[in-house]
Amino acid sequence: MAENSISIDELAEQNIDWYAAACIYVDETTVLPLEGRQKRGFRGIVRLAIDVTNTAFCRKTSQDGHYRYFTVDKLPVLTVALDYVYNDLELADDDEEAPPTNVDIQFEQYPEEWPSAQQSSHVTWLTEKCQQAMNNSLGYGSFTLIQLCEHELLNFWEVIHQTDDYRLILLPPKMDNLYHSNVGVEIHPRNEAIKLQQMQQQKQDVSPSQNSRASAAVSAQEYAQNALLQCWPKMYHSQCPICFDDSRCDEGTTLPCGDFFCNDCFPYYLHVKVTELSEYRQNPFLCPIQGCRAEMCIEAVVKQHISKEDVRLIERWKRDLEFPPCFLLDRCPSKSCATNNTDKAKDDNYMMRRCNNDVKNKFIFCEVCKKEWCELCMRRIHNGVSRAEHKEVCEVQMMLKFCRRYLRASDEMKQKCETMYPWICNYSRGVHEDVGVLSWLLENGQNCPNCAVGVERISGCFHMTCPTCATHFCYECGQEIFYPFYGTHHCWEEQEMFEQFQ
């Protein structure tokens, strides 16, 4: 075939690879001859407008952490030129599906909101990606290269967040000689996110996650704001006040109060507080910063950074506060309950517990069957019988006598007794002393209102501190005392005033 016997348009139409791409971008394609008479082939040019209507951009505007988020007014437009070169002057059969041998990319329209200083490096980066794809052993056709330019163009910068509908891209802070101070909306993502978290914690609302709000956005601008509030840890660095190492915020933990701690120090701090739980009546998880000491939410913050074993200890501590354990019994006094729940009796989490706010009367209940008993005389408190009525029939001395007889009995008699009362073995070991002491305390001493440990006052004022759980209480009335009323609680004066107004 002679060199001039076929036109450039006809040559391009005979190349199936180019012809398929030209049919898709029919209104945006141009065909030109290659320069140089030694080359036979053509250059196919595609004008490619990149859709960024659902893409938002942001950039840092100041050193104090403010960012602006915005969309572009004019879409970026690329011209992708693909060269098709043949080895000789005749068009062979193999040339009909020949892929392009070279690609040349230029910006026809570059958004003014983008940093023009990076325009040339942007083009070089995208061209290299296309060249690497063309050199791939599988080979890349025209349409695939055009799609590669369309999909990879915005990946030149960091994509902070992306959903099925929107994406947010971080641009360099400096915009040539212009900073576009009037473009977009300026916010401080970290401060705004912390304020929002504090408001939600105060209201104790279970609100939808930041991610769901970002996904449900109705515009790119709204999406950008929600995504910045969610992804701000990727954009800031902070120093851990414990180890003084500088880390990116998403590599550590930022508390609702705004203080940051690295992933090494914070979990260890929480673990130490877990080991000290028995010393606290109220939430011991406070911000380690001495000038802050803000309370942490156990569910939302603490449990996310501790082991399953520590979570179990916290749950047990919370249950012990609400229902203090009874250590005299290792099983339920009900024979049927103790027999049917032998596995649970071996679990540390299973135990008999004292009824809430009734420590002084020594009423206890089983966590499994929920039946209620008197710890002093081991009588069942049936429904319809008030605890006040039980005091009239409570026989502490009878139980002490029964335990003494059991301890002095022969092994054969003990075995028979244990068959009737499975709980008697462990109960009797401490009841001779403990129940006697408890009975004495009811008349002469005082119990801690939190853990029920017995306290005897020898001298000094009535302000007592429990040696077991550090609870402050009044020895005279047994009422718990809270700061700052340690030195001003005078229960006898309150009683005198009450009697005057009767």
The answer on 461 and 404 residing in a single domain is no
d(CA 146, CA 156): 16
Among 496, 447, 440, 443, CA closest to 475: 447
Q: Is the pLDDT of residue 482 over 90?
A: no
Is the pLDDT confidence value at 346 over 70? no
Do the domain assignments include residue 196? no
Q: Tens of pLDDT along 297-321? A: 888 889 989 999 999 999 888 888 8
Q: Give a yes or no: residue 201 inside a domain.
A: no
> What share of the chain has pLDDT > 70, as a percent?
80
Which of 331-340, 342-351, 454-463, 493-502 has the highest average model confidence (pLDDT)?
Answer: 454-463
Assigned domain for 230 exists: no
Q: Are residues 360 and 385 in the same domain?
A: yes
Are 276 and 362 part of one and the same domain? no
Residue 420 corresponds to which tokens in the numbers above?
Answer: 């009737």
The mean-pLDDT minimum among 205-214, 349-358, 432-441 falls in 205-214
What's the confidence (pLDDT) of residue 223?
A: 92
Per-residue pLDDT at 156 exceeds 90: yes
Q: What is the pLDDT of residue 494?
A: 56
Local confidence band at 155 (pLDDT 50, 70, 90 cut-offs): very high
The more confidently predicted of residues 433 and 226 is: 226
Question: Is residue 399 predicted with pLDDT exceeding 50?
Answer: yes
Residue-wise pLDDT for 42-92, tens only, equals 889 999 999 999 999 998 887 788 898 999 988 999 999 998 887 655 555
Same domain? 138 vs 287: no
Residue 342: pLDDT band by 50, 70, 90 thresholds?
Answer: low
Residues 316 and 249 in one domain: yes
Does residue 377 sit in the same domain as residue 242? Answer: no
Sheet holding 372-374, edge to edge: 352-354, 363-366, 372-374
The tokens describing 228, both together, are: 């910045």
Residue 208 has pLDDT above 80, yes or no: no
Average pLDDT, the chain: 80
Q: How many residues does the chain have?
A: 502
Q: Among 75-79, 105-109, 320-324, which stretch is predicted with the lowest mean pLDDT? A: 320-324
Residue with tokens 């799609």: 147
Strand partners, 56: 168
CATH number at residue 301: 3.30.40.10
SS (H, E, C) 89-104: CCCCHHHHHCCCCEEE
Tokens, residue 421: 């009362």
Mean pLDDT of 271-284: 86
pLDDT of 119 = 92
pTM over 0.75: no
pLDDT digits (tens, 9 = 90+) for 225-253: 999 998 888 888 889 999 999 888 888 88
Q: Indicate whether 489 belongs to any domain.
A: yes
Q: Is residue 177 part of a domain?
A: no
Amino acid identity, residue 143? F
Q: Tell which of 322, 345, 366 closes a domain.
A: 322
Looking at residue 350, what is its pLDDT? 62
Whether 345 shows a pLDDT value over 90: the answer reads: no
What proportion of the chain, given as a percentage, has pLDDT over 90? 19
Boundary-marking domain end, from 322, 344, 360: 322
Please determine, for residue 479, whether its predicted confidence score (pLDDT) is greater than 60. yes
The answer to whether the CB of 270 falls within 8 A of the CB of 223 is no
Write out the DSSP string of 297-310.
PTTTTGGGGS-HHH
Output the pLDDT for position 371: 87
For range 353-367, the mean pLDDT:
73
Does 256 lie in the same domain as 158? no
Q: Within this chain, do residues 341 and 464 fall inside the same structural domain, yes or no?
A: no
Q: Which of 135-139, 273-277, 323-327, 331-335 has the lowest mean pLDDT?
A: 135-139
Which residue among 170, 192, 218 closes a domain? 170
Which of 78-87, 391-400, 483-492 is predicted with the least confidence, judged by mean pLDDT?
A: 483-492
Residue 361 belongs to domain spanning = 335-444
Could you tell me if residue 48 is inside a domain? yes
**Residues 253 and 361 reside in one and the same domain:** no
Contact 462, 476 (CB under 8 A): yes
**What is the pLDDT at residue 92?**
53
The amino acid sitting at 140 is Y
**How many domains does one find in the chain?**
4
Arithmetic mean of pLDDT, 412-434: 81
Q: Examine the domain organization and report whether 47 and 155 are in the same domain.
A: yes
Q: pLDDT tens, 184-195?
A: 888 899 888 888
- The predicted pLDDT at position 38 comes to 56
d(CA 352, CA 369): 10
Token duo for residue 408 = 């002095």
State how far the Cα of 487 lies from the Cα of 478, in Å rounded to an integer. 15
Residues 278 and 399 in one domain: no
The pLDDT of residue 205 is: 47
The mean per-residue pLDDT over the stretch 128-132 comes to 89
364 and 373 Cβ atoms separated by less than 8 Å = yes
Residue 147 lies in a domain: yes
At residue 339, the pLDDT reads 60
Residues 23 and 100 in one domain: yes
pLDDT at 500 > cutoff 50: no
Which of the residue ranges 74-78, 336-340, 396-400, 414-418 has the most confident prediction, judged by mean pLDDT? Answer: 74-78
The pLDDT of residue 382? 80
What was the pLDDT predicted at 440? 65
**Does 367 have pLDDT greater than 90?**
no
- As a whole number of angstroms, the distance between CA 263 and CA 246 comes to 12
Residue 51 placed within a domain? yes
